[in-house]
Amino acid sequence: MTRRDLLACGALPAIPPATPNRTPIVNGAEHAWVLYDKRFPIDPQLATCPTNLPKYEYPAEQILADMRSYNVDHVVISHVCYYGRDNRYPAHIVKTYPGKFAAIGLLVGHRLYSPADKENPSRLEKLVKEEGLIGLRLSPIYDKDVVWLNDPVSFPLWKKAEELGCTFNIFLAPHQVRQVGDMAQRFPGVNIVIDHIAMIDITKPDTDGFGPLLELSKHKNVYVRTSLHNPSKTKQLPFRDVWPFLHRLYDRFGPQRLIYANFYELLIMKELIPFFTPADKEWILGRTAYRLYKFGARA
């Protein structure tokens, strides 16, 4: 069952209305795409997932409707693989609905620009200063046998990201986690968000990925996006098999460096996790992402 299916079938009820002056709730990642707007065509030649193109659309307007249903104030658009390095649609969303969205783009990696391309820093600067994006999603997970994330050819891009105050979301496999530590130490001015709990296999020992992920907590610029559905083996709401691992992340990173994402996970994080305090939830459900993705500067 996909995230879209869960929302459509009403697997989780809507969040009740907000109280005045509450901390904003920020959904830390949603993909967005259109099929019927000729301004934003999906080109299989650019897509990083050309064999998995969509049959339905999930436009910004539908996300806004879901935001109202779930009482979410802001959403981070994680640029979807269907468009590849064409970042026009997330840029359009950010500009069309100011204050509601932030966006991270696709630029470097599998079927994108080579990490060694000398134009990458200037491309990033254009995305941030002209297109309104806040950073990038880097996905070394698609290059499992090629090391480029912490290769020196990537240093100029990260240096520019540090100058611009960017946030990089990293989608990677467990064996690649230590590469993040190298870059976090070298570029402390880049905020790094680990997507999908590094796709850990919860049935394997810590040495196979979760241990190195916990070690990243020593780098104050590293955050973790929860995404409980990915490590789950049962794939059954509310993903209780992942809760012990979430608890260990919580103990090491603290609530101020955990970020919730996906509409259907909101009620789990808000109402069901037994070890989160009310103050913890303010950070995890919004306060941290609000700062990282600079919504205050976009309101």
Residues 152-194 have pLDDT tens digits of 999 999 999 999 999 999 999 999 999 999 999 999 999 999 9
The parts of the chain modelled with pLDDT lower than 70 are 1-21, 298-299
Tell me how far CA of residue 82 lies from CA of 33, 51, 173, 209, in angstroms.
8, 10, 21, 28
Alpha helix locations (H) across 165-277?
177-186, 210-215, 243-253, 266-267
Quick one: pLDDT at residue 298? 60
3-class secondary-structure state, position 242: helix
Quick one: pLDDT at residue 19? 46
CB 245 within 8 A of CB 52: no
In this structure, how many other beta carbons lie within 10 angstroms of the beta carbon of residue 123? 19
Quick one: pLDDT at residue 12? 40
3-class secondary-structure state, position 136: strand
Residue 234: phi and psi, rounded to 5, are -80, -30
Quick one: pLDDT at residue 297? 77
Quick one: pLDDT at residue 1? 41
Q: Which helix H or strand E contains 26, and what residues bound it?
A: strand 26-30
Quick one: pLDDT at residue 285? 98
Domain residue spans in the chain?
24-292
In this structure, how many other beta carbons lie within 10 angstroms of the beta carbon of residue 278? 6
pLDDT tens by residue, 130-160: 999 999 999 999 999 999 999 999 999 999 9
Quick one: pLDDT at residue 295? 95
Quick one: pLDDT at residue 6? 44
Cα-Cα-Cα-Cα torsion 201, 206, 209, 212, nearest 10 degrees, comes to 150
Among 200, 245, 194, 195, which residue's Cα sits nearest to residue 222?
A: 194
pLDDT tens by residue, 31-51: 999 999 999 999 999 999 999
Domain 24-292: CATH superfamily, name plus number? Metal-dependent hydrolases (3.20.20.140)
Tell whether pTM > 0.95.
no
Rounded CA gap, 284 and 27, in Å? 10
Quick one: pLDDT at residue 299? 54
Rounded CA gap, 160 and 109, in Å? 17
Quick one: pLDDT at residue 15? 41
Strands in 167-170's sheet, in edge-to-edge order, are: 26-30, 74-78, 101-105, 135-138, 167-170, 191-194, 222-225, 258-259
Tell me how far CA of residue 67 lies from CA of 34, 61, 190, 277, in angstroms.
18, 10, 28, 24
Helices (H) and strands (E) in the chain, counts: 11, 8
Quick one: pLDDT at residue 22? 79
Among 70, 82, 144, 64, which residue's Cα sits nearest to residue 109?
A: 144
